[in-house]
Structure 1
Amino acid sequence: MTPVDILILSNGPGEVTTWVRPVVRALRQQLGDDRSVVRISVVLSPCPHASGKEAAIALSYPEVDRVQGAEHFWQFLLWGKTFDNWDWRSRGVIVFLGGDQFFPVVIGKKLGYSTVIYAEWDARWYSLINRFGVMKAKVAERVPQKYAHKFTVVGDLMLEAQSSLRTQDSGLGTERIGLLPGSKAAKLAQGVPLTLAIAEYVKAKRPQTQFVIPVAPTLDLQTLANFADPQKNPFVETFGFGGASLIFSDDNQQKPALKTANGLTVELWQETPAYDLLSQCSICLTTVGANTAELGALAVPMLVLLPTQQLDAMRSWDGLPGLLANLPGVGSTFAKVINWLFLRRKGLLAWPNIWAQEEIVPELVGQLQPPEIGEMVLDLLAHPEKLAQMQLELRNVRGEAGAAQKLATLVKQEIDM
């Protein structure tokens, strides 16, 4: 085979971990590991949710040969040259896995490469793109018939979360609860003290319960701990939480942990992806976002929390709302208005509920208080049949695996043409 370059375009932490990871693995499985024949590059575009660690995460994938961070994206888009002046082979395919669908149009023309777009909710520029792998058939419903041949239903990449674990029991017989407060400051400021306060409440009434935080790969431990420190995060007191500090074992035989003022120890799990750990949790407390998709794919029961003690705290919206909410000086005002409007028009938030078009996992939005949520958790733990029903419904809506392999097949077909 003539040597080819595969260029992955992506952006945020969710896309890099839940889309890029399975796709590059599938590409290597289908196209082989000979880098002189197939080279895989990742170029990141700016994202309001980005932590700055996305490039390092993408580079950690053994299937990937080189990565350019988002800070150099615009010069690449405009001039077709990377910061390190990468060379490009004469044949190649651009695979879009997050960002603006116009980006592969421009870059594909500059490099002379074919283009394959993964379209989750809608497809654009179909007259200028070679192929689309879409999540559902309805994504292509509004496409003119003459372009229909470009569209293939591949399924939901969010459901690629360790399909080998999907047949496992999610650990309903154990007493472990996973806490997933998020990865960005906008969510962590309220999510960390709220979930830790809930954990203290549950532990006091159910001492056998253990708690763990699967730490997002974009988050370092000290930053996480700062959100549990009342001196550094005013929301700690808002939830009536006494605070927590980061501790390490003397012999490094135990994982680092957060220890609360009331003596609760919450283990910090840094191995990623944490699917094996999550699959053994009785239930998880999570914020909205990609976490809900991964938990849904693993059929792990969950409570989805969106506290609104401060309307200007949530500033991680996509597109124009996110830009307005983060403007210096006036961003707080925009955030309050945007979130007020959001709460009035709120639809389904968690991915499993969106898939099912009904609330199969509880979404708790508003002035959330730890005792209130704690009692819900205690009730579920005391009635395992409720958790089993939630798990069954999650299994029914999560769909079939294989989206990454189907998308990789589209790329291979472009290469073989």
Structure 2
Amino acid sequence: MDLNIIITTNGPGEIAAWVQPVVEKLRNLVPHARIIIALVPCPHSSGYEAQVSSRFLGASVLLPSETTHFLLTGKLPPHVVLAREGVILHLGGDQLFSVSLGWRTRFPVVVYTEKLAQWPSQVQRFLLRDEGLYTQHRKHKIPAHKLVTVGDLMVDSVHPTLSSTDARNKLNLSQSMPVVSLLPGSKPLKVLYSTSYMLKIADELSYLLPETQFILPQSPFTPLAQLREAVQDPRYISVLGGVPGKIVHDRNSTFIVTPQGNKIQVVPPTWNHNALQVSDLSITLPGTNTAELAILGIPMVVILPLNKPEVLPVEGLGGQLCRLPLLGPALKRLLIHQILKKLRFVSIPNQKAERLLVPEIVGNTDPLEIAQKAFQLLMDPLHRRETSLTLRSLMPAQNTAETLVQNLLEIFELHYACHPHPIPYRHLDSSHPPQPTDSDSTSGTKRSG
């Protein structure tokens, strides 16, 4: 059987936490399938999504511009060949792109979501993270047969291959001294503006606890050149009041050296979650990182410096308005303030626990305040142990990726049992673009939403 699975996604967090475990499971369960990752436009893109998808996941990749071009013209780049039958899997970005791909290809559409579903009449199945989302969707009159709770896909993305002890040994870290990981994220704006700020926190913490060892696990979406720019370019250092750093290569290791002489080991992306699990504590920005730390049971201090909120990206119409001259920065500050008022918590574990399980320091933050909170936690191993156990219980393994793939294949089989192709098989490439017809208005069974 010639089968395409087209995965739509956008940013680094979605690729690392959602796409990776699904692709790995597809390789095991459907080895003959051709996997295409269709990247869609995203203001938070790192610019390295295509490279990571191709190198680490071994999939064919459509750049955002190529995805948009295909939707508008039906033309694909030469390196991508479309099979006669397939299925669209939404794993991030605007759901409209997935629905539009369903229209263009006539493939059924399956959406994995942690938010309220959109376009229910054009989607064959919504795969949900938890029962709370199921109840919410039923209240919005989405048919029960279109809703399946599969679990939290992020849990399947975290699988360290070394024990914490072995990882420390390989990284030449002392077993008896605390390790603090600094996580500035993987999106360019986060990395550029927050890395030097985290160096300042490290210097403050080293005054309080000189034996602290620091690591910075490098995201596959963050090249070393970007880290160097973040800690050496005054434009980024000055925004949050960070400090400069010097990149030093020592044998097989790379370090960022702070003005106080503290060495922060940059752990390469190939270490992935093996690096995170050596941490006694992590200082992190909000995002997928907080979920990965929770899965590993790593206590954390979550920080969101808003000393300069106008540098933060904003999506949608609000983001366009924030680009207006003169009024733009003030509008952005107001919009971000309104967004945060609606958010009770900024970290994923606190959102799941519905309480302040891990500390969050949000607003006009001070590096010394953050360092003092980190010091307090490092001095309280019993509290960290209790937090670790609670974090793990929030993110239990559910084999979500396998359940998701089984649902995907079920929808594929149901769709083509009811809708055999009326046209002869052909490869769809740039020389044979598909021609839209009146029947292209939906990719599957016509059902009321």
TM-score normalised over the length of structure 1: 0.89
Secondary structure class of the residue paired with 1:300: coil
Which amino acid letter does the alignment assign opposite residue 102 of structure 2?
G
* 1:122-271 → structure 2 map (5 Å cutoff): 122-141=116-135, 142-143=137-138, 147-163=143-159, 175-229=178-232, 231-235=234-238, 239=241, 241-249=242-250, 253-271=251-269
Secondary structure class of the residue paired with 2:7: strand
Q: 1:22 maps to which residue?
A: 21
Distance 1:344 1:113 in 2: 40
Secondary structure class of the residue paired with 2:253: coil
Secondary structure class of the residue paired with 1:263: coil
Distance 1:394 1:5 in 2: 37
Which amino acid letter does the alignment assign opposite residue 11 of structure 2?
G
Comparing 42-51 with 93-102, greater Cα deviation is found at 93-102
Distance 1:146 1:349 in 2: 28
Distance 2:198 2:347 in 1: 17
Deviation at 1:312, TM superposition (A): 1.2
Deviation at 1:95, TM superposition (A): 0.8
Q: CA separation of 1:118/1:344 partners in 2, compared to 1, >3 Å: closer, same or farther? A: closer
Matched, 1:5 2:4: yes
Matched, 1:411 2:408: yes
Distance 1:311 1:145 in 2: 38
Q: CA separation of 1:327/1:289 partners in 2, compared to 1, >3 Å: closer, same or farther? A: farther
Q: Deviations over 1:243-295 (max 9, x none)?
A: 2111122xxx3321111121111111122462111011000000011111111
Q: 2:95 maps to which residue?
A: 101
Q: Is the 8 A contact 2:192 2:229 kept in 1?
A: no
Distance 2:221 2:29 in 1: 29
Deviation at 1:122, TM superposition (A): 1.4
Q: Provide the identity percentage.
A: 30
Q: CA separation of 1:146/1:22 partners in 2, compared to 1, >3 Å: closer, same or farther? A: closer
* 1:50-65 → structure 2 map (5 Å cutoff): 50-64=45-59
Which amino acid letter does the alignment assign opposite residue 139 of structure 1?
L
Q: 2:443 maps to which residue?
A: none
* 1:323-362 → structure 2 map (5 Å cutoff): 323-326=320-323, 330-362=327-359
Deviation at 1:22, TM superposition (A): 0.5
Secondary structure class of the residue paired with 2:261: coil
Distance 2:407 2:271 in 1: 26
* 1:268-307 → structure 2 map (5 Å cutoff): 268-272=266-270, 274-307=272-305
Distance 1:174 1:216 in 2: 25
Deviation at 1:111, TM superposition (A): 1.3
Q: Is the 8 A contact 2:197 2:237 kept in 1?
A: no
Secondary structure class of the residue paired with 1:293: helix
Matched, 1:373 2:367: no
Deviation at 1:381, TM superposition (A): 1.1
Deviation at 1:388, TM superposition (A): 1.0
Q: 2:63 maps to which residue?
A: 69
Q: CA separation of 1:165/1:85 partners in 2, compared to 1, >3 Å: closer, same or farther? A: closer
Comparing 163-172 with 358-367, greater Cα deviation is found at 163-172
Which amino acid letter does the alignment assign opposite residue 347 of structure 2?
A
Matched, 1:388 2:385: yes
Q: Deviations over 1:95-117 (max 9, x none)?
A: 11111222222221221212211
Distance 2:293 2:105 in 1: 38
Q: CA separation of 1:193/1:20 partners in 2, compared to 1, >3 Å: closer, same or farther? A: same
* Runs of at least 5 residues in structure 2 that lack an aligned partner in the other structure: 169-174, 415-449
Q: CA separation of 1:332/1:403 partners in 2, compared to 1, >3 Å: closer, same or farther? A: same
Secondary structure class of the residue paired with 1:256: strand
For the aligned residue pairs, the C-alpha RMSD in angstroms reads: 2.5
Comparing 341-350 with 301-310, greater Cα deviation is found at 341-350
Which amino acid letter does the alignment assign opposite residue 107 of structure 1?
L
Which amino acid letter does the alignment assign opposite residue 348 of structure 2?
W
Which amino acid letter does the alignment assign opposite residue 248 of structure 1?
H
Deviation at 1:179, TM superposition (A): 0.2
Secondary structure class of the residue paired with 2:247: strand
* Runs of at least 5 residues in structure 1 that lack an aligned partner in the other structure: none
Matched, 1:397 2:370: no
Comparing 216-225 with 289-298, greater Cα deviation is found at 216-225
Q: Deviations over 1:308-331 (max 9, x none)?
A: 21231222x343334444557654
Q: 1:118 aligns with which of 73, 95, 112?
A: 112
Q: CA separation of 1:299/1:326 partners in 2, compared to 1, >3 Å: closer, same or farther? A: farther
Aligned length: 405
Deviation at 1:43, TM superposition (A): 0.8
Distance 1:165 1:293 in 2: 18
Secondary structure class of the residue paired with 2:67: helix
TM-score normalised over the length of structure 2: 0.83
Distance 1:134 1:290 in 2: 17
Q: Is the 8 A contact 2:160 2:272 kept in 1?
A: no
